[in-house]
Amino acid sequence: MKSKKILSLLLAGTMTAALLAVPAQAAEAPQPEPYTISADHWSREDFSQEASPEVFTGAYSRELYNAIRQTMVDGTSENPAYTMVAKGDDYSAVKNLIGRMEGVLRYEHHVPRNFTDYWRYLDYFAVSAEMPENYQAPLDFIQSALDHAGTLATDRERVKAFNDYIRTLLAYQKGKTAGVTQTFAPHAGELKAACGSYARALKFLCAAADIPCFTVSSKTHTWNLVYVDGQWLHVDVSANDLSGRNGVLLVESYQTGKDQAPEATAFLKELFVPGSTK
């Protein structure tokens, strides 16, 4: 009985020592500080003073402009500025707006993981800008095209080169889709694609070359607006490819369809190039 008691005490001592020996790293990881809205986030900088005041209509407010522009200028979403966007039509309009901006970076509604009082601010709206991980391969693929563009003298020449480059990769077919990761990857022959795929491809190339560019859509068609030679000009790579000639390449006006969101388009022009619509 005495030997069993001694053995029991020895085992208890061993277990206690083992527990005391557990490294500090095994302790629960510290939690991030709670993120709570504070007044300094509302507008760290007033970029809206640089833009044409005529673009601030409806959901497209000065506050929204400052929040998005702050992310564009900072190039990060670690500490984004934010504003309020009412749920419903305004929220949908703003979501569509930032979707039209995507090039190499993807712009999205951003809510910090440690935002503790989100339920109190359901209209909260911040914008993040991140490059998707699967966009690195397309960036590597287009490097030769970017290198060639770098040898050209003007952005006008670069956009023309990008237009012709995309025409070697895609072949127009209504209803077909070829995403950025498909278009800018090794493949045999030309991929079948409709207008939206051409427009996304041009946005990606222009963004990689630091040329302002976004998409415009009618009810049935999508093309691009590109900022070249101090003005916004239309480019429709899909129409150029389908017709076999560059008929819609950096033109001032384009009558193929009615812009579904002209107010958003004017707002985007000012986001990408402040003062460009004055």
Q: What is the 3-state secondary structure (H, E, C) of 190-223?
A: CEEECHHHHHHHHHHHHHHCCCCEEEEECCCCEE
> What would the pLDDT profile of 69-102 be if each residue is shown by its tens digit?
988 888 765 666 666 565 667 889 999 999 999 9
> Which among 207, 213, 187, 200 has a CA at the least distance from the CA of 272?
213
CATH architecture of the domain with residue range 135-272: Roll (3.10)
- The segment(s) of the chain belonging to CATH 3.10.620.30 are 135-272
For residue 151, pLDDT over 70 is answered with: yes
Maximal C-alpha separation, the chain: 101
Per the model's pLDDT, the better-predicted residue between 35 and 46 turns out to be 46
| pLDDT for 35 | 61
Q: In sequence order, what are the residues at sequence separation of 6 or more whose Cβ sits closer than 8 angstroms to the Cβ of residue 193?
A: 170, 171, 172, 173, 176, 177, 178, 183, 238
Using pLDDT thresholds of 50, 70 and 90, give the confidence band for residue 16.
very low
Tokens 């950025």 sit at which residue?
180
Q: In sequence order, what are the residues at sequence separation of 6 or more whose Cβ sits closer than 8 angstroms to the Cβ of residue 185?
A: 137, 138, 141
Residue type, 206: C
